[in-house]
Chains A and B, each alone.
Chain A
């Protein structure tokens, strides 16, 4: 079953615009929500992350908005640049809680294209 649903699958934005990618989850045991950025031919790299006790986290042009009651979170990229063109994955982490492994579940990915 798909525990983390991500939308849209692809997104085209003009330079300077706002890119918004949404994710929804089902498992209330998730306690850490990272976003990964992946460029062609490279592995995913951690971009920004949030814990559910915070409703928003901002790092430069990247902002995560988190709605715990709706079990949704989103990535906003302000002033989008052509260099932001990449695939973005949301993910949800279920902590160890005393066990030996915390499970990371990925969304399906969004291909972002920013036109100059």
Chain B
């Protein structure tokens, strides 16, 4: 039982490059979330999804896009990476109104 799996675990990008972060969950959860974690700021919600084919903006959505083509997968895309997007990205999943289960994060550096 893997829970929430994020790939890749580490990545270094140059400014302007694009990339996609993948999140996969095997708990049949309806809800999935993308957060970023920065020192002294806790976790901030980027985008979330309440079901396959649906996505919505969170607290800090600018510069990111997401897609949920399959219930078990939630993708986070950076079209043109900026240094301000250097962060640790966490994916989480949950059933409705239940605690969120987190992956182990993707550490992204943008030079």
Question: Which positions in A face B, CB cutoff 8 Å?
Answer: 4, 6, 9, 34, 41-46, 49, 89, 95-96, 100-104, 106-109
Contact = CB atoms under 8 A, between A and B. Distances in A.
A89 B56 contact: no
A95 B31 CA distance: 14
Q: In the complex, which range does the number of interface residues on chain B fall in? A: 20 to 34
Interface string B78-111: 0000000000001010001101111111000000
A44 B43 CA distance: 10
7 contacts: A42-B105, A43-B105, A95-B97, A100-B50, A101-B48, A107-B42, A108-B40
Contacts of B103: 43
Given A43-B104, A101-B48, A9 B99 contact: no
A34 B97 CA distance: 12
Interface of B: 4, 31, 40-45, 48, 50, 56, 90, 92, 96-97, 99-105
Contacts of A4: 42
B97 A106 contact: no
- For A34, A101, A103, A106, the residue with the greatest tally of chain B CB atoms inside 10 Å of its CB is A101
Contact of B102 (A45, A100, A102, A107): A45
A101 to B, nearest CB: 6
A29 B102 CA distance: 24
Given A42-B104, A106-B44, 12 more contacts: A41-B105, A43-B90, A43-B92, A43-B102, A43-B103, A44-B102, A46-B100, A95-B97, A103-B45, A104-B45, A106-B42, A108-B42
B88 to A, nearest CB: 9
B73 to A, nearest CB: 17
A9 B42 contact: no
Nearest to B39: A109
Nearest to A99: B50
A44 B33 CA distance: 13
Nearest to B96: A96
A106 B31 CA distance: 18
Contacts of B41: 108
B91 to A, nearest CB: 8
